[in-house]
Structure 1
Amino acid sequence: MNRILKNRTLKATAIAAAVIGVVGVAQARDQVRIVGSSTVYPFSSYVAEEFGATTDYPTPVIESTGSGGGLRLFCNGVGEGTPDITNASRRMKVSEFERCVENGVTDITEAFIGYDGIAFAQSIENDPMPVTREQIFLAVAAMVPQDGELVENPYTHWNQIDDSLPDREIVIVGPPTTSGTRDAFEELVLEAASESFSEAYGGEAYSDVRTDGGWVDGGENDNLIVQRLTQDTTAFGVFGYSFLEENSNVLIGSTIDGVEAGPEAIASGEYPVARSMFFYLKNQHGDDVPAMYEYADMFMSEQMIGDLGYLKGIGLIPADEQARAEAREQVANKVTLEKSDLE
């Protein structure tokens, strides 16, 4: 090929690449890009390492952004610069689905991988402290009922809420608003407990979190919350049960409403702060990132999410056999998520 023809070919290739970028088509690549939940991150990372070690594809790149943050990135559009998969420790919201559609992300498959609980835990150096959701609510809520009216949360010590609790400063370190764990905590603890005070809140569910220091945002990385509890033995932490299980040598969990967090109680729903976990596939990237589906198939395998799967060993609570089979079939068939599925 002479120099002029070669230059014309290179120029045409560059123009074509630019056009592809403009219309938002994913460029063919071997490496899967994943964002999302810090709670799902350890499970996703385990699968990614196994995938990189046992296939011809490179290990997927995973960024822990929180469920909300991951879904924002995922729903930004189709093409280079957007992730292929997002992890979530809660189900996608209708508003997030609508944003995806608005940005051209119209073919999504939902993958249900199992369960996790939200732990309320402290340093093992302390005595166990059983709590109810109502007591946690009164410790965390921005406005609380007192003498027949709503006031800014006045409680600074646990025994002010209930004299059966210790004379100990209220410090609760938890995830930020971008986290699926935070979403689930607000729904399963705060909103649920506010029903006990429904008259004070006009019959509406209430989940606003105090900002005066009683609640401390600990960041998206649950490991940092765990580290904080080992340094500050007066504090409690809110994070996924899997992190409590992994750190049972330094942390102790509280029973909530009389139920201890554990695999059976979480899977059965007896533990009141249990939630489902997911990842979402952007099928519009499938042709250009075929490794995405092979990674998803490995994640959904019995070897990973089954009763004797590897992920159970690091804290995943497996779903029952039928639920796993249905979820696996949905991923294998690339079933498109519909808005009505989320309503």
Structure 2
Amino acid sequence: MTATLAATAILNTQVASAARDYISVVGSSTVYPFATVVAERFGKSTNFKTPKIESTGSGGGLKLFCQGVGVTHPDITNASRRIKSSEVQLCADNGVKDITEVLIGYDGIVIGNSKKSAQMEITRKDLFLALAKRIPNPDGSETLINNPHKLWSDVNPALPATKIEVLGPPPTSGTRDAFAELAMEGGCKKFGWIANIKKESKAEKKLGNKKAAKELKNKYKGICHTVREDGPYIEAGENDNLIVQKLNANPNALGIFGFSFLDQNADQIQGSKVDGQDPTFETIADGSYPVSRPLYFYVKKAHVGTIPGMAEYLKEFTSEKAFGEEGYLTEKGMIPLSDEERTRVRTDATSLNNLQL
């Protein structure tokens, strides 16, 4: 008996005894509103129960998803970043060996503020120098110092002389991961000597020096991705709506959240220009807005055919009426995939093709 058949047999036994008759979905707070809309429509238009969607953050969702096979574990997890190889290994260690990846669309990460204030115009380098724990020594040496910046004008004289206060997601959030990679690292690698560390890592990897390559890679990420903990960056939880409320209460603060939340709260908040680009549907779709990322969900194949409605839920989510160019998810602020990408994703989802990293 194969591992998949064995897992399915165990699950069938559990379903018979525990009888979970609805789909359990966990994961990203960014994907949550999209998944909720699909779940509600699915519940109303089919004979299946409405799936239960929980917002746990991308990292938290993948951790729950990878704990095992069976009705006590989630069937699907949403993610606002791609699954990591370490998470695939965690899944495998716990018997979750067959996973289908579904890319659903794109999202921009917005650095926004209240409409009571002027729009910020900022660069990724500004964001790195404002929020990194350690920054390059201004004396020009290839050394780092603890981040001393208190005001935006300390970072860049062209920015306002207001206190650096950025409300953002916690480390378990895919938005936090994507912000670190796209915004922080995007600014960090403007410093040539830091960018060279990554080049050196790749060179060592090519030479087969895995240990040296890993050490250099960790050094590079440690500089570029580590957010300061002395006050300017304020963890605001996984609830993006709460960030909107706090921005209205403090017009000098900035917040980090997905484009869909800007789209839904455009009467109250505005997105900052990043590297000269406004966060809009068009700039995210064409890739000119620099802080944008793909959105996914991951399916536990062993649960399909056992938990009622899973194949049908996948079909609904990847239908043209849902994630198509004029689908109901685009009305909620999701940036659609190209025609070619949607065709490929739909095939992968309906065929339950295995994840390829």
Q: TM-score, normalised by structure 2?
A: 0.86
Residue 77, structure 1, aligned to residue 68, structure 2: yes
Aligned 8 A contact 1:47 1:298 in 2: yes
Query: How far is 1:201 from its partner?
Result: 8.0
Query: How far is 1:290 from its partner?
Result: 3.1
Residue 174, structure 1, aligned to residue 165, structure 2: no
Give the distance between the partners of 2:188 and 2:63, measured in 1 at CA: 29
2:288 corresponds to which letter in structure 1? E
Of stretches 260-269 and 113-122 in structure 1, the one that deviates more from structure 2 is 260-269
Structure 2, unmatched stretches of 5+, are 1-6, 198-219
Aligned 8 A contact 1:36 1:68 in 2: yes
| Counterpart in the other structure of 2:114 | 123
- Could you list the per-position Cα deviations for residues 264-298 of structure 1 after superposition, in whole angstroms to 9, with x for gaps in the alignment? 21122111111000111101011311311111110
Query: How far is 1:29 from its partner?
Result: 3.3
SS at match of 1:242: helix
| Counterpart in the other structure of 1:266 | 284
Which of 275, 280, 285 lines up with 1:257 in the alignment? 275
Aligned 8 A contact 2:11 2:306 in 1: no
1:28-177 to 2 correspondences below 5 Å: 28-146=19-137, 147=139, 148=141, 149-177=143-171
| Counterpart in the other structure of 2:236 | 218
- Could you list the per-position Cα deviations for residues 223-246 of structure 1 after superposition, in whole angstroms to 9, with x for gaps in the alignment? 111111111111100010110111
Aligned 8 A contact 1:159 1:168 in 2: yes
SS at match of 1:237: strand
Aligned 8 A contact 2:20 2:71 in 1: no
1:263 corresponds to which letter in structure 2? F
| Counterpart in the other structure of 2:247 | 229
SS at match of 2:113: strand
Query: How far is 1:194 from its partner?
Result: 1.1
Of stretches 266-275 and 197-206 in structure 1, the one that deviates more from structure 2 is 197-206
Give the distance between the partners of 2:8 and 2:302, measured in 1 at CA: 14
Q: TM-score, normalised by structure 1?
A: 0.90
- Could you list the per-position Cα deviations for residues 129-169 of structure 1 after superposition, in whole angstroms to 9, with x for gaps in the alignment? 10000000011000012223311111110001111100100
SS at match of 2:314: helix
Query: How far is 1:30 from its partner?
Result: 2.3
SS at match of 1:38: coil
Residue 193, structure 1, aligned to residue 187, structure 2: yes
Mark the structure with the bigger radius of gyration. 1
Which of 323, 326, 336 lines up with 2:354 in the alignment? 336
Aligned 8 A contact 1:116 1:240 in 2: yes
| Counterpart in the other structure of 1:10 | none
Give the distance between the partners of 1:67 and 1:196, measured in 2 at CA: 28
SS at match of 2:48: coil
Give the distance between the partners of 2:11 and 2:22, measured in 1 at CA: 18
Which of 275, 283, 293 lines up with 1:275 in the alignment? 293
| Counterpart in the other structure of 2:313 | 295
Aligned 8 A contact 1:29 1:288 in 2: no
1:235-254 to 2 correspondences below 5 Å: 235-254=253-272
Aligned 8 A contact 1:141 1:210 in 2: yes
Query: How far is 1:192 from its partner?
Result: 2.1
SS at match of 2:189: helix
> Identical aligned pairs, as a percentage?
47
Aligned 8 A contact 1:130 1:255 in 2: yes
Aligned 8 A contact 1:150 1:200 in 2: no
| Counterpart in the other structure of 1:306 | 324
SS at match of 2:274: coil
Query: How far is 1:23 from its partner?
Result: 5.3
CA RMSD of aligned residues (A): 1.7
Give the distance between the partners of 1:229 and 1:43, measured in 2 at CA: 23
Aligned 8 A contact 1:265 1:271 in 2: yes
- Could you list the per-position Cα deviations for residues 15-66 of structure 1 after superposition, in whole angstroms to 9, with x for gaps in the alignment? xxxxx99956651532000000000000000001111111111111111000
4+ aligned runs moved over 6 Å, structure 1: none
Aligned 8 A contact 2:8 2:302 in 1: no
